[in-house]
Amino acid sequence: LDNVAFPLEIQGVEKRQRVERAHRMIELVGLAGKEASYPRELSGGQQQRVGIARSLAVEPELWFLDEPFSALDPLIRREMQDEFLRLQSVLRKTIVFITHDFDEAIRLADRIAIMKDGEIVQAGTPEDLVLNPATPYVAEFTRSVARAKVVKVASLMQPVGGAVPSVTVRANAPVAESAPLFGAGQETIGVTYGDETVIGLLRRVDVVDMMMRG
């Protein structure tokens, strides 16, 4: 609790208010009941959640995170990425997230800026960067990324015609997520948006073509 409340103490926030806010942030990151725990009593993922709660305690308008998950093992890192996405959906804050892992950037970001020698060489959606690299450096940086992990289903969507399939996928999902949905004999699946209204169709042949192109 004191760890999470420390930035508020530095700001001169009175004790009752900082304790109340620290409790709220601890609950937000899923650590309710751990307020009196020492770092050695927490797992690596839980320790990382304490850091996230501490950074949110001051209620920043812009949330800046500098490689917050880089030291974690792959399983905990994935868990914390999921937690980050959950928090973003709840908080709706603008976040600047620094990472050297392009796969992590693709998974978490709406927009990505690639820097070289202290300058931004290209900024755009993950799809923009992979499909339309502005420089040879960006092309090399994104060369090993599977397009199906980046390109959204909406980019391959066809108009609705005839019967609507019962199997659906979100329009903003990566194409790779749709592949397991094509069962035996399933040639098309529905594409949904917002309130789950079907707005188009995704064809198996288009998904296979995208995945074959890498």
* Structural domain count of the chain: 2
Q: Is residue 89 part of a domain?
A: yes
Contact 143, 114 (CB under 8 A): no
Residue 56 belongs to domain with CATH number: 3.40.50.300
Residue 195 has pLDDT above 80, yes or no: no
Same domain, 6 and 69: yes
CA distances from 182 to 26, 42, 85, 91, 168 (A): 41, 42, 27, 34, 10
pLDDT at 53: 92
In a shared domain, residues 94 and 159: no
CA 99 to chain centre: 12
* Paired residues of 62 in beta bridges: 94
User: How much is the pLDDT for 55?
Assistant: 92
Query: Model-level pTM?
Result: 0.75
Q: Are residues 9 and 85 in the same domain?
A: yes
User: Do the domain assignments include residue 163?
Assistant: yes
In-domain check, residue 162: yes
Candidate ranges 83-87, 95-99, 144-148, 182-186; pick with highest mean pLDDT: 95-99
In a domain, 134, yes or no: no
Share of the chain above pLDDT 70, in %: 100
Range of 49's domain?
A: 2-98
Helices and strands counted in the chain (H then E): 10, 7
Q: Could you identify the residue written with the tokens 């892992």?
A: 101
CA pseudo-torsion sign 58, 59, 61, 67: positive
What is the per-residue pLDDT across 139-184, written as a single tens digit (0 to 9) for each? Answer: 998 988 888 888 999 989 999 877 888 899 999 889 998 999 987 7
CA distance 145 to 127: 11
Residue 82 lies in a domain: yes
Residues 21 and 89 in one domain: yes
Is 143 within the bounds of a domain? no
Check whether 118 has a pLDDT greater than 90. Answer: yes
Instruction: For residue 168, give the CATH number of its domain.
Output: 3.10.580.10
Does 21 share its domain with 87? Answer: yes
C-alpha 48/C-alpha 52 separation (Å) is: 6
In a domain, 113, yes or no: no
Would you say residue 50 lies in a domain? Answer: yes
The residue among 98, 129, 164 that closes a domain is: 98
Average pLDDT, the chain: 90
Burial (CB < 10 A; 0-12, 13-18, 19+), residue 40, is exposed
